[in-house]
Chain A
Amino acid sequence: AQSVTQPDIHITVSEGASLELRCNYSYGATPYLFWYVQSPGQGLQLLLKYFSGDTLVQGIKGFEAEFKRSQSSFNLRKPSVHWSDAAEYFCAVVGTSGTYKYIFGTGTRLKVLA
């Protein structure tokens, strides 16, 4: 069964600093991987996704993520954080062979200091 682990519950960074949010997954093959962002009181918005090919994927709002098969990881990065990036971030995995369950991690809440 697939699973997702986000080891950091809370992260605080200063505005302008770089950011890396960690995501590790468990699945028998290479799954499809996603990062979503949720602002307070809102639904979830897709940041980026990995299906296959280039292991470094670019998303919206200046985010990128790198798929590392050897580490079963899909970490999210941003070179310079803006105050508006304060939100909760979720990593998700869905299988690639006829399974349709999206499984989400527990989320990482990002706080940005001015």
Chain B
Amino acid sequence: NAGVTQTPKFQVLKTGQSMTLQCAQDMNHNSMYWYRQDPGMGLRLIYYSASEGTTDKGEVPNGYNVSRLNKREFSLRLESAAPSQTSVYFCASSEAGWWGNTEAFFGQGTRLTVV
């Protein structure tokens, strides 16, 4: 029962470095999401992918890129990390269709610190 798996769990980057956060789900869901969580800000949507081959911007996309590699995997890339990107990142997936959407299932999060 893996569900949604994120790697890595912790990461420290220097300003200007790049990295990719990996996310994989084994529930055959068609929709996947990346959020960041900051104190007092709740979860803010960075990017989402409604289905394989499509991606769309969320509320806070600047400084990030995403790739929906296949139906299982959805990666988030920071090309040039900034201290403002210090946050906890969550990946999620859900089953969505013309009828709407199921609940989202979340990974355990990646705690990223940019120094």
Contact A101 B58 (CB under 8 A): yes
Could you say which residues of chain A place their CB within 8 Å of the CB of B96? 100
B42, closest chain A residue (CB): A106
Question: Which residues from 64 to 114 on chain A have a C-beta closer than 8 Å to any C-beta of chain B?
Answer: 90, 92, 94, 96, 98, 100-107
What range describes how many residues of B lie at the interface?
20 to 34
Q: How far is the CA of A50 from the CA of B5 in the complex (A)?
A: 26
Q: How far is the CA of A76 from the CA of B103 in the complex (A)?
A: 17
Q: Assess whether A25 is interfacial by the CB under 8 Å rule.
A: no
Q: Assess whether A17 is interfacial by the CB under 8 Å rule.
A: no
What range describes how many residues of A lie at the interface?
20 to 34
| Contact among B43, B50, B108 for A104, CB-based, below 8 A | B43
Q: How far is the CA of A101 from the CA of B58 in the complex (A)?
A: 8
Could you say which residues of chain B place their CB within 8 Å of the CB of A43? 90, 106-109
Could you say which residues of chain B place their CB within 8 Å of the CB of A98? 98
Could you say which residues of chain A place their CB within 8 Å of the CB of B103? 34, 46, 49
Q: Assess whether A56 is interfacial by the CB under 8 Å rule.
A: no
Q: Assess whether A32 is interfacial by the CB under 8 Å rule.
A: yes
How far apart are A71's CB and chain B's nearest CB, in angstroms?
21
- A interface list, Cβ under 8 A from B: 6, 9, 32, 34, 42-44, 46, 49, 51, 90, 92, 94, 96, 98, 100-107
